[in-house]
Amino acid sequence: MREFWNERYSAEDYVYGTAPNTFLRKQLECLIPGTVLFPCEGEGRNAVFAAQHGWKVKAFDASEAGKEKALLLANKQGLEFTYDVSDAMDISYPQDSFDVIALIYAHFPEDIRQTLHHKMISWMRPGGILILEAFNPLQLSNTSGGPKDASMLYTHEMLQSDFNQLQTILLGTEKIILDEGTFHRGPADVIRYVGQKLN
């Protein structure tokens, strides 16, 4: 998969755009800035937005090309943040490190998804917030992006199970129109989740 993403991100354009995800933007605007982690951050659009608004940002992705473009986007705006290149299952952070973890279209194979989601909970501080937007199984009939493997698309039951240690604040599916660069464009079926770690 690293080769796939390096090839995709090697394009001159930002293939998912440079503006932040709309749902993420609205959620962050409701919170007091602190520390935030962006897994699978790609070209950096969401990390740059958070840094612009006073968040202390860390991000990771398996793609070296993604990191290069993310830091270029940040540098153009005089911003800095930490961006690690690592596979999701290899990355590790200390417990209680982050006030927010933002999973924006971070789809994982079924055999690692639950393990990784549980690790992320341990990285959150008590009171921390997890924000997620991803595709749900109805997305298979759309052409606006996302995995074509149904097991990598998220359902209510899947998220409730993976994040059962969090208090659910928001969980729902929506039909939206995506306008996020070349590969996220058109009608889409998404699932949105916000949960809080109480202790």
pLDDT digits (tens, 9 = 90+) for 42-73: 999 999 999 999 999 999 999 999 999 999 99
pLDDT digits (tens, 9 = 90+) for 66-114: 999 999 999 999 999 999 999 999 999 999 999 999 999 999 998 899 9
For the domain made up of 2-196, give the CATH fold. Answer: Rossmann fold (3.40.50)
CA neighbor of 171 nearest in space, from 182, 162, 159: 159
Question: What pLDDT was estimated at residue 150?
Answer: 95
Structure tokens given for 132: 């997620």
In the chain, domain spans: 2-196
Structure tokens given for 70: 């993310």
Q: What is the mean pLDDT of the chain?
A: 96
